[in-house]
Chains A and B, each alone.
Chain A
Amino acid sequence: MTEVVSPMPGKVIAINVSIGDRIDEDTPVITLESMKMEVPVFPTDSGKVKEIMAVVGEVVTKGAIVALLE
């Protein structure tokens, strides 16, 4: 199980994967808006998307788990 973690606080502006997708370290799982930038959030490992916790429009903190891979 791999936790996809937000590297910084920011607003979720896009979710780029669906449950069941096979993704790798170069796949931006979600996109945040922070420091007036679009910030892609990458997983540390490859895997299949099991759960997406992030919700578009909501603010996440640094270290928040935004998705789970298996």
Chain B
Amino acid sequence: MTDRVSGVTWEDKLKELQEARARVLAQGGPQAIARQHERGKLTARERLEKFLDPGTFVEVMSFVKHRETDFGMAEKEIPADGVVTGYGKVNGRTVCVWSQDFTSNGGTMAEMHGQKVSDIITKFAMQMRVPQVGLMDSGGARLQEGMQAGHMGYGRVINAMVNASGSIPQISLVMGPCGGGQGYLPALTDIVVMTKGKSNMYIGGPAFVKNVTGVDTTIEELGGSKMHATVTGIADMEVENDERCLETGRRLLSYLPASYEAPLPVIEPQDRPDRKCETLTDIVPTDLTKPYDMRKVIKEVVDGGEFLELKRQYAPNAITGFARFNGVPVGLLANQPLVMGGALDVEAGPKMARFIRFCDAFNLPLVFLVDNPAYMPGVDQERGGIIKHGCKHLYAYVEASVPKISVILRKAYAGGYAAMACKTMGADMVFAWPTAVITIVVPEAAIDVIYPAGKYSEEERSRALLEYYNKYAGPWFVAARGYIDDVIRPEETRIKIIQALEGLRNKKTVTPPKKHGNIYL
């Protein structure tokens, strides 16, 4: 069949399509792809293949082209403009993806590159009501495009991410550089996974730092994965390589609903709901001065011992992560008595607050395992802003409207009680072990104030301390006032949490009308 006007055949038209598609699929060409592999990294398309269920990727905006003509760009073709966009399935559930192609002009941000990313978020993920996952690997702004790269590209993406925040889950899998404006993108999303030694995030690289301040630095120091996993905490996880990063992204999604109004991904329980946790009394010492590893308690109580921990290396005195109880996904928060006695500090506060707010946004119930000797006092903590950082934790705890279930294992002191297990703050269900000690301050410190040394004999002081312990230490005083729902045997911990989750399944709260609250930032 021949087109009457041009004489073009179906064969010609289909060949044209095939060739255009091949140019896009070729990414930056064999040499650039070989270099990407030498660096120990997969290409943008290989990553998508591994991340999504086989054969489910649907590419969109494949033929978008940049429109820069200056600085030698007129003739330059950049396949897919350096970012592969589309949607596909993860364990059978739809997600939108964008994967930056470092082999095509360094995966640099530019006007059209930015438009593709913002469109996949705004016009696809937000309309489809599914999570968006960014596979990031970018040399930063495409400098030939100047303003189009920085302000129009990044501006669009930042705008899209902020509007999507809290509406759909957003995950960043960082598998290469994320410099300059790109450095902000992962932090604007909910969860960030970085590959060890091969990824980084910074606002200015070593050359720029040297230029403007004269200081010699390295990329690792400025924004390496280790730095972000241990110092800033922006990296929720630091993983070995691209494969682990993609697999981690899939695991994270398994705990999350498609959007804030979608049902939780409840799975067929892999563990008995009535399983007794007999070993808990071997793990947790009754002597309050003795530490133990809270992770062992977590492994014992959750479904199948499976716990996906976030920010493991940042503020390790507090533990945050995802787990399931009888198939229901939850956000689990706990103190870690093994580190700093489990005391909360300027880093643990915001770590817990951000996790609480994320879980609340996506309706994941919160389970708290409490054993902490309060927030840390002291000059360095006060100067570091313990009040404003502790405030975030308190604020987020009250604000969260999801079910809030607490088990007090041993210590729940002061702010560490308030923001983790306090009925007057809004806890829904609080259980205490018989070993629980709930006070406003360490009893020893209370006695120092009420019966100062020197003024009272040591005998009087120790008698008063014992009296104080007898009255307030132990769960009984608080239980008698109705602020503890039940004192339980440790082995019943799992059963009680599951019953509480079932009981609170249809929890509804009313938030007073307002534009938004004013959490300390």
Q: Which residues from chain A sit less than 8 Å from chain B, CB to CB?
A: 7-9, 33-40, 61-62
Contacts and interface: CB of A to CB of B under 8 A. Distances in A.
Contact of B442 (A35, A38, A39): A35
B378 A37 contact: no
A7 B288 CA distance: 20
Nearest to B341: A37
Contacts of A7: 317, 339-340
Interface string B332-347: 0000011111110100
B290 to A, nearest CB: 6
A35 B442 CA distance: 8
B339 A37 contact: no
Given A7-B339, A7-B340, A8-B343, A36 B444 contact: yes
A33 B343 CA distance: 12
B19 interface: no
Contacts of A8: 340-341, 343, 345, 376
A7 B376 CA distance: 12
11 contacts: A7-B340, A8-B343, A8-B376, A35-B340, A36-B288, A37-B289, A37-B337, A37-B342, A38-B289, A40-B291, A62-B378
Given A8-B376, A9-B378, A62-B380, A34 B289 contact: no
Contacts of A62: 378, 380
Given A7-B340, A40-B338, A35 B291 contact: no
Nearest to B374: A35
By CB atoms of chain B within 10 A, which of A33, A36, A37, A40 has the most?
Answer: A37
A9 B382 CA distance: 13
B373 interface: yes
A52 B308 CA distance: 36
A35 B376 CA distance: 8
A35 B288 CA distance: 11
Contacts of A37: 288-289, 291, 337, 341-343, 373
Interface residues of B, number: 20
A33 B380 CA distance: 18
Interface of B: 288-291, 317, 337-343, 345, 373-374, 376, 378, 380, 442, 444
Contacts of B341: 8, 34-39
B375 to A, nearest CB: 10
Contacts of A39: 291, 340-341
B175 to A, nearest CB: 25
By CB atoms of chain B within 10 A, which of A7, A8, A9 has the most?
Answer: A8
Contacts of B444: 36
Nearest to A62: B380
B338 A36 contact: no
Nearest to B287: A38
Contacts of A33: 289
Contact of B373 (A9, A35, A40, A61): A35
A42 B448 CA distance: 31
Contacts of B338: 40
Contacts of B442: 35-36
Contacts of A35: 340-341, 343, 373-374, 376, 442
Nearest to A36: B442
A37 B373 CA distance: 8
A36 B439 CA distance: 14
Given A35-B341, A35-B343, A39-B341, 6 more contacts: A35-B376, A36-B289, A36-B442, A37-B343, A38-B290, A40-B291
A40 B380 CA distance: 20
Contacts of B339: 7
B291 A34 contact: no
A8 B374 CA distance: 14
A40 B291 CA distance: 8
Contacts of A34: 340-341, 343
Nearest to B230: A44
A36 B343 contact: no
A8 B337 CA distance: 13
A35 B342 CA distance: 9
A38 B378 CA distance: 18
B81 to A, nearest CB: 42
CB-based closest 8 A-B pairs: A37-B341, A35-B373, A35-B341, A35-B343, A8-B340, A39-B341, A38-B289, A36-B442
A36 B290 CA distance: 10
By CB atoms of chain B within 10 A, which of A34, A35, A40 has the most?
Answer: A35
A8 B373 CA distance: 13
Nearest to A6: B340
Contacts of A40: 291, 338
Contacts of B345: 8
Contacts of B290: 38
Contacts of A61: 380
Contacts of A38: 289-291, 341
A29 to B, nearest CB: 14
A38 B317 CA distance: 14
B346 to A, nearest CB: 11
B411 to A, nearest CB: 9
Nearest to B316: A7
A7 to B, nearest CB: 5
